[in-house]
């Protein structure tokens, strides 16, 4: 199995992590055996983030060290003992997906350390779909999160991230209308039929007592026995006799 310690020097990429042994210290740094055909060179400025006055104060010959590839030259491999950033400014691009840890919360958002020179800011509007009042409503310090890079401003040294951009927007579907079945539906149909019947009855002509008396006189004069009457309104017997008597005197009897 090929490991970083055994691959050819030309194939080593910057930031590759290696284990090595100090071969020799000098005023300018140290030579490191990293198992490659080219010697590993560690400059004094790459030993520690704090200034080092003498290499011998920090490193000894034969000491085991962890180093990272800084640059590969034709005659040497430049090393560093300071863990490099996961992302350099030039490597950060919009739409990249990064993973990091929430380091600080503010009312307007959360700061995430994902291995860049500066932490990225996730604004409250980018924490989740829907309304978010404060960042603490969604995340807390120490949370491991995954986010998408929205924007990188190298001049202002600002990185904007979004968790929402990686989440699918769930749209609630409107409930389907409930179809009324069984007894309730038959009941509704019955009401509809009753309404139609009442409508039909209401459309029939309504006759007054005078119209009925007139029709009866005509039928009698024509020798008809059946008397047609519809929807008779209540009228006193005395008024009906009066109408009949009056009509019989005026109309021919057919004799």
Q: Which CATH number belongs to the domain containing residue 28 in this structure?
A: 2.40.50.140
| Same domain, residue pair 42 and 110 | no
Residues 97 and 158 placed together within one structural domain of the fold: yes
Asked if residues 60 and 98 have their Cβ atoms less than 8 Å apart, the reply is no
At 11 the pLDDT is 78
Residue where a domain stops, chosen among 109, 142, 166: 166
The C-alpha atoms of residue 103 and residue 142 are separated, in whole angstroms, by 6
> 23 is written with which tokens?
């071969």
Total domain count for the chain?
3
As given in the structure block, the two tokens for residue 149 are 């890079």
Nearest-CA neighbor of 163 among 116, 99, 107?
Answer: 99
Q: 109-113 and 29-33 as β-strands: parallel, antiparallel, unpaired?
A: unpaired
Q: What is the pLDDT of residues 135-180, one digit of tens each?
A: 999 999 999 999 999 999 999 999 999 999 999 765 555 566 676 6
Which residue(s) pair with 33 in the sheet? 21
Assigned domain for 192 exists: no
Query: Residue length, the chain?
Result: 255
Compute the C-alpha angle 20/25/28, nearest 5°: 110
Question: Both 101 and 153 in a single domain?
Answer: yes
Give residue 233's domain range. Answer: 209-249
| Judgement on whether residues 20 and 64 belong to the same structural domain of the protein | yes
- Single out the residue in 61, 80, 99 at which a domain terminates: 80
DSSP calls for 157-187: TEEEEESGGGSPPPPPPPPPPPPP-THHHHH
User: Has residue 214 got a pLDDT over 50?
Assistant: yes
pLDDT category of residue 219 using cuts at 50, 70 and 90? confident
pLDDT at 223: 61
Tell me: do 161 and 106 sit in the same domain: yes
Q: How many CA atoms lie within 13 A of 17 on its CB side?
A: 6
pLDDT at 182: 56
Residue 71 vs residue 198, higher pLDDT: 71
Is residue 55 within 8 A of residue 22, CB to CB? The reply is no
């Amino acid at each position: 199995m090929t490991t970083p310690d055994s691959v050819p020097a030309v194939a080593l990429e910057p930031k590759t992590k290696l284990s090595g042994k100090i071969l020799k210290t000098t005023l300018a740094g140290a030579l490191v055996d990293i198992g490659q055909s080219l010697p590993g060179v560690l400059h004094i400025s790459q030993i520690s983030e704090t200034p080092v006055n003498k290499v011998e104060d920090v490193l000894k010959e034969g000491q085991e060290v962890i180093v990272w590839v800084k640059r590969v030259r034709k005659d040497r491999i430049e090393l560093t003992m300071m863990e490099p950033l996961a992302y350099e400014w030039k490597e950060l691009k919009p739409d990249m997906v990064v993973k990091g840890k929430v380091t600080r919360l503010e009312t307007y958002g959360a700061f995430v350390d994902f291995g860049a020179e500066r932490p990225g800011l996730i604004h409250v509007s980018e924490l989740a779909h829907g309304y978010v009042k404060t960042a603490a409503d969604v995340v807390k310090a120490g949370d491991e999160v995954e986010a998408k890079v929205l924007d990188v401003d190298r001049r202002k040294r600002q990185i904007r991230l979004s968790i929402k951009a990686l989440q699918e927007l769930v749209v609630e579907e409107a409930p389907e209308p409930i179809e009324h079945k069984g007894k309730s539906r038959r009941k509704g149909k019955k009401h509809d039929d009753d309404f139609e019947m009442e409508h039909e009855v209401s459309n029939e002509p309504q006759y007054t007592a005078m119209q009925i008396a007139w029709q009866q006189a005509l039928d009698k004069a024509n020798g008809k026995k059946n008397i047609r009457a519809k929807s008779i309104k209540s009228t006193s017997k005395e008024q009906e006799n009066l109408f009949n008597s009056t009509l019989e005197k005026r109309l021919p009897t057919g004799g």
